[in-house]
Chain A
Amino acid sequence: MKKKILVVEDEEGLRLLYEEELESEGYEVLTARNGKEAIQQLEQGRPDLIILDIVMPVMDGMETLGRIVGKDRKIPIILNSSYPGYRQDFMSWAADAYVTKSTDLGELKDKIRKLLEKGKAQ
């Protein structure tokens, strides 16, 4: 069974990039354009991991993070932002990982792999 990853990202170009890159890694990729869409997606079914942008219209990533944790405490979440400053926000500590956006997706892919493995171990 392919692992399902939900990518929450408002920039269309990035969304397509993540979709393509992660599918080629063998994951099934779902996408949402903002936090509100992400929460609607969660009602349809549970992904194995969520990649969450922070600065988004409609509902930002930090608020979405709280909502997701309130609904499903265990789902692994990676905050993925161009701004490292959000690490100071207490709420960001509720994410399993924090990745600063870069053209090289190596770190992100690495974190995904580790979190999914950790999930399997439990």
Chain B
Amino acid sequence: MKNVLAMILAGGRGERLYPLTRDRAKPAVCFGAIYRIIDFTLSNCLNSDIRRIYLLTQYKSTSLHRHIQLGWNILSAPLGELIGVIPAQQRIDEHWYQGTADAIFQNIYTLQQEMPDLVLILSGDHIYKMDYRKMIAFHLEKGANLTIAAIRMDRTLSREFGVIEVDRDWQIGGFQEKPEEPKTIPGDPEGILASMGIYVFNTEILVRRLIEDARSDSTHDFGKDIIPMMIGMDRVFALDFRQADREGVEYWRDVGTIDAYFEANMDLVSVTPQLNLYDPQWPILTYQSPNPPAKTVWAEEGRMGTALNSIISNGCIISGGSVMRSILSPRVMVHSYAEIEDSILFEGVDVGRHAKIRRTIIDKGVKIPEGMEIGYDLEEDAKRFTVTPSGIVVVPRWIRL
């Protein structure tokens, strides 16, 4: 895998995750109590033995940079390994990245310097476990110029994805970006093959196509411009995600909206989550500050410190309050008689006595005053907080209550 360079697009604004993305790029949003979304893609790289990685950042990147610096400074430079963070630096021209293809084109000097045989282009926005080695083996075996990872999705979702058409050999013959009327999978009229935004390119072909795209009127996007241009001109193949899926359940989430984000987190507190975080052969790495172990205190009638069906991180103290089906990031404090249900509490949240929280995401460091109720009267909540269509309340960072 030494001849492979991974470039992770980590500049997404994640507007539909607002206000969680008010202060951070989407890849830096917390997931599963102790992780950031980017940790899944980076862990996939390391678990696939890919150890030359660049992250391309753009908007609101401070939080992401800090996380990478603290948690991912683990590779060995003398062995030729690195995780480099490249902010948008206007190296070639004076714009911010105009599209996914432009983001790579603007970093053509990095490709020149690294001279890999293959470039693996990834998104820092997705949660999944995938063995990229299998994708690369497929790419080489097919003699492909470009291989795109594809997952089966319900056809009703076609407007959210690039839809791929393949022949029997999985060579791509057509690609439609977010079509209304998608081409379905032969023999599966309800299914489409969706692009996962994961690409393996031969370096020279990538550079040539990026340059052609850069010199034409284009939106400079892989899905809209580069892939359609390459089909019919180059050898473009699709890899069936099932061939490289570590979980074997085709788990791949975009968590593009607050509702999707909430559901994906809540999956983790079920008895057997779809996403297994406990696989010792496929560790998900992250940064964790040194905190004491989680603790519950008080066990008297009416004042029981309890947590059931929940994820409780280090540094949490559940002091005479109750936590049910919830996810607590490090250093969350739950005071006596407080009740928390079906909620996600980010790092350092403090819930005062007698407060009641239900179906709510509370961002980092927010202090909930004594007796406050959130998630019980959505009309009232909507006056201060974001309330999603399915009734999830989001309490933003920095708010003073």
* Chain A residues packing against B (C-beta within 8 Å): 66-67, 69-71, 73-74, 89-91, 93-94
A99 to B181, alpha carbons, bound, how many Å? 48
Whose C-beta in chain B lies nearest to the C-beta of A73? B215
Q: 17 A-B contacts, Cβ less than 8 Å apart? A: A66-B91, A67-B92, A69-B92, A69-B214, A69-B215, A70-B92, A70-B95, A73-B214, A73-B215, A89-B112, A90-B108, A90-B109, A90-B112, A90-B207, A91-B108, A91-B109, A94-B211
Chain A positions within 8 Å of B108 at CB level: 90-91
Number of interface residues of B (CB under 8 A): 16
A30 to B207, alpha carbons, bound, how many Å? 32
A71 to B93, alpha carbons, bound, how many Å? 8
Judge if B16 is at the interface, Cβ distance under 8 Å. no
Judge if B169 is at the interface, Cβ distance under 8 Å. no
Is the beta-carbon distance between A73 and B93 smaller than 8 angstroms? no
Is the beta-carbon distance between B109 and A94 smaller than 8 angstroms? no
A71 to B211, alpha carbons, bound, how many Å? 14
Judge if B229 is at the interface, Cβ distance under 8 Å. no
Closest 6 CB pairs of A and B: A70-B93, A66-B92, A94-B211, A90-B112, A90-B207, A73-B215
Chain B positions within 8 Å of A66 at CB level: 91-93
Judge if B380 is at the interface, Cβ distance under 8 Å. no
Whose C-beta in chain B lies nearest to the C-beta of A75? B215
Judge if B76 is at the interface, Cβ distance under 8 Å. no
* Chain B residues packing against A (C-beta within 8 Å): 91-95, 108-109, 111-112, 207-208, 211, 214-217
Chain B positions within 8 Å of A90 at CB level: 108-109, 111-112, 207, 211
Is the beta-carbon distance between B216 and A73 smaller than 8 angstroms? yes
Chain A positions within 8 Å of B214 at CB level: 69, 73, 94
Chain B positions within 8 Å of A67 at CB level: 92-93
A94 to B215, alpha carbons, bound, how many Å? 8
Chain B positions within 8 Å of A71 at CB level: 93
A70 to B112, alpha carbons, bound, how many Å? 19
A73 to B98, alpha carbons, bound, how many Å? 14
A70 to B109, alpha carbons, bound, how many Å? 15
Is the beta-carbon distance between B217 and A69 smaller than 8 angstroms? no
Whose C-beta in chain A lies nearest to the C-beta of B102? A70
Chain B positions within 8 Å of A94 at CB level: 211, 214-215
Chain A positions within 8 Å of B92 at CB level: 66-67, 69-70
Is the beta-carbon distance between A93 and B93 smaller than 8 angstroms? no
A91 to B93, alpha carbons, bound, how many Å? 13
Chain B positions within 8 Å of A74 at CB level: 215
Chain A positions within 8 Å of B211 at CB level: 90, 93-94
A67 to B111, alpha carbons, bound, how many Å? 18
The CB with the most chain A CB atoms within 10 A, among B91, B95, B207, B211, is that of B211
Task: Please name 11 further chain A to chain B contacts, defined as beta carbons within 8 Å, in addition to the given A66-B92, A69-B215, sorted by A numbering.
Answer: A67-B92, A69-B92, A69-B93, A70-B94, A73-B215, A73-B217, A90-B108, A90-B207, A90-B211, A94-B211, A94-B215
CB distance from B94 to the nearest CB of A (A): 6
Chain B positions within 8 Å of A69 at CB level: 92-93, 214-215
Chain B positions within 8 Å of A93 at CB level: 207-208, 211
A10 to B219, alpha carbons, bound, how many Å? 36
Chain A positions within 8 Å of B93 at CB level: 66-67, 69-71
Whose C-beta in chain B lies nearest to the C-beta of A96? B215
CB distance from A87 to the nearest CB of B (A): 13
Chain A positions within 8 Å of B111 at CB level: 90
Chain A positions within 8 Å of B112 at CB level: 89-91
CB distance from A50 to the nearest CB of B (A): 13
Chain B positions within 8 Å of A91 at CB level: 108-109, 112
A90 to B91, alpha carbons, bound, how many Å? 14
Whose C-beta in chain A lies nearest to the C-beta of B93? A70
A74 to B218, alpha carbons, bound, how many Å? 12
A91 to B112, alpha carbons, bound, how many Å? 9
The CB with the most chain B CB atoms within 10 A, among A73, A91, A94, is that of A94
A68 to B278, alpha carbons, bound, how many Å? 52
A90 to B207, alpha carbons, bound, how many Å? 7
